[in-house]
Amino acid sequence: MHRRWTSLAGIVVTALLTLFLVIPVLLSVYAGLTVSYARGMSAGFTLDWVRQVWELYSETVWRSLAVALLTLMLTLLIGVPGAYALVRRGGRFARVVEEIVTLPVAVPGLALALALILSYGNLGIFRQSTLFVVVGHVLFTLPFMMRAVIAVLETIDWRTLDEGAASLGAPAWRRFIDVILPNVRPGVVAGALTVLTLSIGEFNLTWMLHTPMTKTLPVGLADAYASMRLEIASAYTLVFLIMIIPLLIGIQLVAGLTEKRMTS
């Protein structure tokens, strides 16, 4: 009986916490669809605010997607081989390198952005390009990709697999592509999910690095909150949700299919 009440209390607390988190999002969506939030439902509903947001800020949506995809591509190219190299090397040196790579996570985004500006701010074309924002996102998200892959590598007997492929005459690059990558796929998918979500939603770092020509969706969202009426700012939130939710669901489906293939 006591266990039953404990379970029921846990469900109630979880439901209340979920409502506490979800209600603000629902109210924001509601505000973006009403003719006048102050007048409430009596004013009716409209998609005009969403249309205005798209006309004003559509380029920030596409730029955010481009930045996130470029960030993902670079973290895959750098993070997956880098994680394998650190695990393969092992020892104190590998741990030191891993800690250095993880530093951007501990450093505030504004401080990391300031360091990039001080280092490369004089490179005019680079400083004013979207690639400058991408570099900041890569530095910020790379540790999450590497940690996800390292975690998987530490749970499998990769050394035996690698040595078996080497005994058959496979060169190092072939062993990495044909043996290591298929076995760390769950970590790669988990890292990709984290990198995409962090990149699309990153504000502090991007706010410091962006220029008027390289504004991303979160920065545009902040501008809308500061300078537009409430309904337009809330409609911008709705556009953000429409963009991010299908992307997250798609990645989760890919992760589920990957896990099923690995266990079958």
Each residue's pLDDT tens digit, 21-37 = 888 888 888 888 888 87
Q: What is the dihedral of CA 73, 76, 81, 84, to 10 degrees?
A: 180
Buried b (16+ CB within 10 A) or exposed e, 105-123: beeebeebbeebeeeeeee
40-93 pLDDT tens trace: 777 788 888 888 888 888 888 889 889 999 999 999 999 999 988 888 887 788
The correct answer on CATH 1.25.40.10 for the domain covering 50-263 is no
- Is 224's pLDDT higher than 90? no
- Is 261's pLDDT higher than 80? no
- Is 1's pLDDT higher than 70? no
Model pLDDT, residue 75: 94
Tell me which of 256 and 81 has the higher pLDDT: 81
Contact 112, 104 (CB under 8 A): yes
Model pLDDT, residue 186: 84
- Is 234's pLDDT higher than 90? no
What is the mean predicted confidence (pLDDT) over 4-9?
70
How many distinct helices (H) and strands (E) make up the chain?
13, 0
Model pLDDT, residue 5: 62
From 95, 172, 183, 110, select the one nearest 140 (Cα to Cα).
110
Tell me which of 254 and 71 has the higher pLDDT: 71
Model pLDDT, residue 37: 77
118-175 pLDDT tens trace: 888 888 788 888 999 999 999 999 999 998 898 888 888 878 887 888 888 888 888 8
Contact 149, 115 (CB under 8 A): no
Model pLDDT, residue 71: 95
Q: Domain map of the chain by residue range?
A: 1-46, 50-263
Cβ count within 10 A of residue 6: 10
Model pLDDT, residue 244: 77
For residue 162, what are the CA distances in angstroms to 24, 90, 145, 167, 170? 51, 15, 22, 9, 9
Question: From CA 139, how far away is CA 133, in angstroms rounded?
Answer: 10
What is the mean predicted confidence (pLDDT) over 193-207?
87
- Is 6's pLDDT higher than 70? no
